Structure 1
Amino acid sequence: VSTVSHELRTPLTAIAGSLGLINGGALGEVPQTMRQMLTIAHSNSQRLSALINDLLDMDKLVAGKMQFDLQAKLMQPLLEQALLHNQPYAEQHQVTLRLQVDDDALVHVDAQRLAQVMANLLSNAAKFSPSGGSVLVRLQTIGERLRVSVSDNGPGIPETFKSRIFSKFSQADSGDTRQQGGTGLGLAICKEIIERMGGQIGFDSPPRHGATFWFELPIQGVRHEPSPDPR
């Protein structure tokens, strides 16, 4: 899998980049009749690239070859950065990202891998939220663990899908869910990453009342007062 994925990634990156340049007018004005087809081709090449990256990540995780740089860090600054980086994607779906900090504490995390987990949870929440809605990211302590939760107001998770939601290549079977795209690997990768950092991940989803995905990490040392809202 790793060898094939690497061989596919290089030409796909070139294809996606070339299509993006053409559609952006780098070679001159693109006729409107052609622009839609170029946009579809560019979008699908990006989806294939995302699938290959997910396959490579999962292969490394399963083989125990993914490197983790665990450091003691406060969670609030990492979440603020995650919201900043993912807000443009949320805006494409006309969704606002909000952060609520009840408590903060030091935890052992790999900041880059945590950003990967947050990008997946936030993009999922934005995709399934109604236009004009919001996604709430909450930071709180639960006993001796620090919990991060991501809540949306979407359609929720089908009952038949809940038991396999963290399995590889799993996607809900409904047409609405399929239309949202995705590789079916994102949540499986999130689970592997969080568990490698000594934590656990789960979700809550009452019927037709949205979904909340959460993960918890062991607290290292004393709790900290949350930083004031920069706004």
Structure 2
Amino acid sequence: MKISSTARLRIATIALTTVLAAGIGSYAALHTHSRDIKLIDQGISEAIRAASDNPQQELSAALFYLDQYSLDLSLHLLSRDNELTTINSASNDRLEVINISEARGALASIVQDNLGRNYRLKALEISGGDFLIISASTLSADESLKSNFKSAAVATVAANLLAFIFLTFYIGLIKRRDEQDALARMQEFLGDASHELRTPLTVVKGYVEMLSKSMFTEEKDKARAFERVNTEILRMESLIRDLLLLAELGESASRDYELFDISELIQAHVDDFSLLNPERQVTSEIQNDIEIEAARDFISRFMQNGLNNISRHTPKDAPVKIKLQQEGKKVALSIEDGGPGLPESAYREKVQSLHRFDKSRSRENGGSGLGLSIMAAVISRLGGDFNLQKSSLGGLAITAELPLKQ
């Protein structure tokens, strides 16, 4: 099941918002917790230092330091008989049991309780083999960490909700703009299509009216009239077919693409064109085994229109060159001819729907005259770039760049 571009945008935005909000919130929570623990450790270390700086009066010095700086720390005395006496009790400190082994382990540095009692402590051995212990509960800091994580989660949900609302509003604006653009294109398309069909319909109507009123008495005049009507009908068929294709290419609905060998497809068109045009010198530079994700029928129509334009609008012996090569993540395709080319201004114009660079070409050589418009629409639909240039052969060079993956 394919995910629409709108859904992908929503998922990507929510994922990015989640990562940023959760990352920033988690970092802030951990940083705050680390700072709280650092402040606890600093107080414990300073109290132990004050006691060690006063031999024979360690308890008094430590107690005086705690009282002087109003530190929320506990002061304990652990005898060599493993009797624990609490001299100063801090809030939330539940240090009730500690043995000599644990006290010795806390002589060198501050240790974290590993029995789930949520405190940090440091010990100092004093005269007589007893231990002075300074401890502090980390319960408040741990609860603050949990609360901050919850706040980060709430902030993440809120950020995602805001991002979703904003994105929905933004997508709505884009859709409305696209709908307005589509409506404008449709109105322009209908206007241009009716204009293009008016001329052949007028011709057919005129000849049919003259034939119905028996205004032609000579058989050769009747035959000429029928031939003219038939020619205009064929032109209308070609025009309608091309108009329908342009309408399909202009639709915004998604289309299933397939992975296929574009080298093989282009080579087949070159071989067919060479067979049908033996008078021409047809050269090709086609890189083998280039696979592209696209609509095969669109690429075929692109090649058909390009080669048909050459057949109609260039001398029968005009040289032709087709080139296909991969350039990074794109494929470059060019069709060049040695014909008369286009008017000078055409190379500076953007190819648009129903645009004809030389309106006489379709009338003189058949066809709808919309070949280049169709080719440009095909490349645009496939997400590529389409350009018209002067060919080194003297005529027109049609170049297209297409992405290998859609």
- Which TM-score applies when normalising by structure 2? 0.41
Q: Which residue of 2 aligns with 1:106?
A: 291
Cα pair distance change 1:44/1:139, threshold 3 Å: same
The answer as to whether partners of 1:128 and 1:152 remain within 8 angstroms in 2 is no
Q: Which residue of 1 aligns with 2:370?
A: 185
Q: Distance in 1 between matches of 2:284 and 2:223?
A: 37
**Deviation at residue 37 of structure 1 after TM alignment:** 6.2
Q: 1:199 aligns with which of 373, 384, 387?
A: 384
**Deviation at residue 61 of structure 1 after TM alignment:** 2.7
Higher strand share goes to which structure?
1
Q: Which residue of 2 aligns with 1:126?
A: 311
Q: Which amino acid aligns with 2:255?
A: F
Q: Which amino acid aligns with 2:269?
A: A
Cα pair distance change 1:35/1:150, threshold 3 Å: farther
1:169 alignment partner, SS class:
coil
Matched ranges for 1:205-220 at <5 A: 205=390, 209-220=394-405
Q: Which amino acid aligns with 2:323?
A: R
Q: Which residue of 2 aligns with 1:49?
A: 237
Provide Cα deviations, 1:78-128, integer angstroms capped at 9, x if missing partner. 11232355557x54x954644321454211121111111111111112223
Cα pair distance change 1:116/1:155, threshold 3 Å: same
Q: Which residue of 2 aligns with 1:115?
A: 300
2:290 alignment partner, SS class:
strand
Q: Which residue of 1 aligns with 2:268?
A: 81
Q: Distance in 2 between matches of 1:37 and 1:211?
A: 36
Q: Distance in 2 between matches of 1:100 and 1:79?
A: 10
Cα pair distance change 1:104/1:41, threshold 3 Å: farther
Structure (1 or 2) with the larger CA radius of gyration = 2
Q: % of aligned pairs identical? A: 24
1:52 alignment partner, SS class:
helix
The answer as to whether partners of 2:285 and 2:323 remain within 8 angstroms in 1 is yes
Cα pair distance change 1:211/1:173, threshold 3 Å: closer
Q: Which residue of 2 aligns with 1:152?
A: 337
The answer as to whether partners of 1:201 and 1:214 remain within 8 angstroms in 2 is yes
Q: Which residue of 2 aligns with 1:72?
A: 259
Provide Cα deviations, 1:191-226, integer angstroms capped at 9, x if missing partner. 222122222211211699211102122235xxxxxx
Cα pair distance change 1:123/1:97, threshold 3 Å: farther
Q: Which amino acid aligns with 1:48?
A: M
Cα pair distance change 1:168/1:41, threshold 3 Å: same
Q: Which amino acid aligns with 1:69?
A: D
Question: What are structure 2's unaligned runs of at least 5 residues?
Answer: 1-189, 202-218
Residues paired across the two proteins, number: 194
Q: Higher RCO, 1 or 2 (CA under 8 Å, sep at least 6)? A: 1
Q: Which residue of 2 aligns with 1:142?
A: 327
Q: Distance in 2 between matches of 1:181 and 1:45?
A: 11
1:160 alignment partner, SS class:
helix
The answer as to whether partners of 1:199 and 1:215 remain within 8 angstroms in 2 is yes
Q: Distance in 2 between matches of 1:177 and 1:51?
A: 10
Q: Which residue of 2 aligns with 1:171?
A: 356
Q: Distance in 2 between matches of 1:82 and 1:208?
A: 20
Provide Cα deviations, 1:145-181, integer angstroms capped at 9, x if missing partner. 1111111001122112223351233223485676234
Q: Which amino acid aligns with 1:54?
A: D
- Which TM-score applies when normalising by structure 1? 0.67
Q: Which residue of 2 aligns with 1:63?
A: 251
Q: Distance in 2 between matches of 1:203 and 1:124?
A: 13
2:404 alignment partner, SS class:
strand
Q: Which amino acid aligns with 1:143?
A: G
Q: Distance in 1 between matches of 2:306 and 2:300?
A: 10
Higher helix share goes to which structure?
2
Question: What are structure 1's unaligned runs of at least 5 residues?
Answer: 13-30, 221-231
Provide Cα deviations, 1:19-77, integer angstroms capped at 9, x if missing partner. xxxxxxxxxxxx99987766554443222111001111222333325x63311111121
Cα pair distance change 1:153/1:206, threshold 3 Å: closer
The answer as to whether partners of 1:135 and 1:151 remain within 8 angstroms in 2 is yes
